[in-house]
Amino acid sequence: MVAQTAEYMDNDSNAANQENPETQDKQNNSDLTTAHQTADSHPVLKTEARQSQDQHQSKVNISTKIVNFLDLIGFTWFIPIVKLLAGESPAEQFKQIILTIGIPVLAFMVFLVLWSWSASKIQTSLGAIPGPVAVWQEVGSLVDDHYKEAEKKEAFFERQRKRNAKKLAEDPNTPVRIRPYTGKPTYPEQIMTSLWTVFAGFFLATLVAVPLGILCGSSSLINSALNPMIQIFKPVSPLAWLPIVTLIVSALYVVEGEPMFTKSFLVSAITVTLCSLWPTLINTAVGVASIDKDLMNVSKVLQLGWWQTVRKIVIPSSLPLIFTGLRLSLGVGWMVLIAAEMLAQNPGLGKFVWDEFQNGSSHSLGKIMVAVFTIGIIGFLLDRIMLSLQKIFSFGEAR
C-alpha cells in the first residue's frame, strides 16, 4: 500500500510538472546551477571544463584564420569544408559544399563524358580529336620528355667540365668557356618563358598606364587630349601591332656580342604592353576622377603639394579601381601573349602550340589540348593572385 501511494505521488508530481512548465524550467535551471556549482567546487571538473572551453576556442580561432586565408587568395569554395570540420552549422555547410563544389564537379564530369563521347566521332587531318584519357597521357609524355632533356643538358655540361678540367691540367693559363645549352626547350621551360614574358610586358604596361591614368583623371584638359587616341588604339589587335613592333625592335635593338634580351622576347613583351595597358589606364582615370571632392578640398586646406596629394589622397582612394584595371590588363596580356609568341617565335606556350600544329604528328592534337588547359589554369591562377593583392592593398570592400 505504501509503495502504491508513493507511486501515485510521483505520478501526480510529474503530471503537475508537465502541466506547469515554469515549475519544470525552474527545476532544470536549479539542476544546471547545482551542476555548475559542483564543477566549480570540484577542482578536477573545473579544470576539465576550462580545458574543453580552451580547446573549443582554439579550434574556432584556427578555423577563422583558415577561412580568412582562403577568402584572401580567392579559394572560397573550400570555406564550407573548414567550417564543417569546425562543427559550425553542419546542415548549412553541407548545403554550401554541394552548391560550391558538388555542382561544379558534377558539371565538369558531364563535360568530360560529352568530350569523350564526341571526340572519337570527329576526324581531322591529324586524326581523331583526343579524348580526356589521351590528353592525360600526353601530360605524362611531356613530363617524361622534360626529364630526358634535363639529363641531356646535364650530360652536355658535364662533358664541358671534363674537357675544361683536362685543358687546365695541361696548361693552367688556357682560357676555358662554358657554352650554353642549345637543345630544345621543354614544356615546363616554355611555361616559365611565357610567364616571364607576360610579367615583363605587364610591368611595362603598369609603368605607363598608372601615371597616364592619374593625369587623365586629375585634369580634364589632359583627358580631352588623350581620350581620342585611347579610344582608337584600345581595340587594335596584337596581330596588327606585331609587325610594327618587330620592325622597330629590329631597327633599334642592335647589340654587339651576347644580348641581354632576345629580339623575340622584346617583340612579345612590347606587344603585350601595347595591348594590355588600356584597361589599367581607363580604370585608373575613372578611379581618380571619382574621388570625393571633400578629400581634394582637404588637400588644398592642408596646402599639400601635387606629389603629396597624389601619394596620400589620390592613389589610396583610387586603389580599388586601379587593381581592377590591373586584373583586366594581366588577363588581356596573358591572352595576347599566345598570339604574339606564335608569330614572334618566342619560345613559350604560343610557339609550342604553333610547332605542334606544324608538326602534324598523331600526338600533336593531344599536346595542343594540354597547352589549352595549361593556358586556362595559369590565367585563372594569375587572376587569383591579382585578386589577393587587391584585397591586401585596398581598404574597404575590394571591387
pLDDT in tens, 318-364: 998 999 999 999 999 999 998 888 888 888 999 999 999 888 777 88
Closest by CA position to 252, among listed 266, 241, 265, 242? 266
CATH at 299: 1.10.3720.10
Contact indicator for 60, 86 with CB cutoff of 8 Å = yes
pLDDT, position 23: 47
2, part of any domain: no
- What is the tens place of the pLDDT at every residue in 93-113? 888 888 888 899 999 999 999
Cα-only R_g, the chain? 34
3-state secondary structure 198-220: HHHHHHHHHHHHHHHHHHHHHCH
- What is the tens place of the pLDDT at every residue in 10-45? 444 444 444 444 444 444 445 444 444 444 455 555
User: Does residue 160 sit in the same domain as residue 220?
Assistant: no
1, part of any domain: no
User: Does residue 205 sit in the same domain as residue 307?
Assistant: yes
- Average pLDDT score, the chain: 82
User: Does residue 201 sit in the same domain as residue 275?
Assistant: yes
pTM, whole model, 2 decimals? 0.77
User: Does residue 213 sit in the same domain as residue 294?
Assistant: yes
DSSP reduced 3-state for 345:
coil
25, part of any domain: no
145, part of any domain: no
User: Does residue 61 sit in the same domain as residue 199?
Assistant: no
325, part of any domain: yes
User: Does residue 75 sit in the same domain as residue 214?
Assistant: no
Alpha-carbon span 236 to 245, nearest angstrom: 13
pLDDT, position 139: 94
128, part of any domain: no
By CB atoms closer than 10 A (0-12, 13-18, 19+), residue 17 is middle
User: Does residue 176 sit in the same domain as residue 210?
Assistant: no
DSSP reduced 3-state for 124:
strand
User: Does residue 162 sit in the same domain as residue 266?
Assistant: no
- What is the tens place of the pLDDT at every residue in 246-289? 999 989 988 877 788 888 899 999 999 999 999 999 999 999 99
Phi, psi of 349, rounded to the nearest 5 degrees? -65, -35
Residue 90 confidence class, pLDDT cut points 50, 70, 90: confident
Here the cell at position 116 is 569523350
Alpha-carbon span 61 to 74, nearest angstrom: 20
Task: Annotate 350-365 with b (16+ C-beta within 10 A) or e (fewer).
Answer: bbbbbbbeeeeeebbb
- Calculate what percentage of the chain has a pLDDT beyond 90: 39
Contact indicator for 292, 313 with CB cutoff of 8 Å = no
Question: Among 59-63, 186-190, 200-204, 321-325, which is the least confidently predicted range?
Answer: 59-63
Number of domains present in the structure of the chain: 3
What is the domain range of residue 244?
187-253+260-393
pLDDT, position 13: 43
User: Does residue 347 sit in the same domain as residue 227?
Assistant: yes
User: Does residue 223 sit in the same domain as residue 340?
Assistant: yes
Task: Annotate 73-87 with b (16+ C-beta within 10 A) or e (fewer).
Answer: ebeeeebbbbbbebe
44, part of any domain: yes
Determine the Cα angle at 373 with ends 368 and 375, to 5°. Answer: 90
